[in-house]
Amino acid sequence: MAFGRRREGEGGGSVARPRLHGVEHAFSKTVMTLGIVGVGTAVAAILGSQDVQAWITGLVVSLLSVLFAAVLWSRARA
């Protein structure tokens, strides 16, 4: 099994985490996406106030967004 997908239960066996269903899954993905957008906006505002060149700001925000999305959405599959 993939890392973090199962946890050990009583008696040494492994127990699957409960899966998210329908509305819970959609709500979870929406909240995560809004969080990623919020972090990207904050980073862009900070870099913009420091007179960083626009292409560097775009690159940093894009890379952070992709990284956060990959990590959070891979955890939300369960």
**Residue 46 covered by a domain:** yes
Each residue of 19-36: pLDDT tens digit? 667 888 888 888 988 999
Task: Find the domain containing 46 and state its range.
Answer: 20-76
In a domain, 36, yes or no: yes
How does DSSP assign the chain, residue by residue?
--TTSEEE-GGG-EEEPPPP-HHHHHHHHHHHHHHHHHHHHHHHHHHHHTT--HHHHHHHHHHHHHHHHHHHHHHHT-
Q: Report how many domains make up the chain.
A: 1
What pLDDT score does 38 carry?
A: 93
* pTM of the shown model: 0.65
Confidence category of residue 75, pLDDT binned at 50, 70, 90: confident
Band (pLDDT 50/70/90 cuts) for residue 76 is low
Instruction: Answer whether residue 35 is part of any domain.
Output: yes
| Residue 1 forms part of a structural domain | no
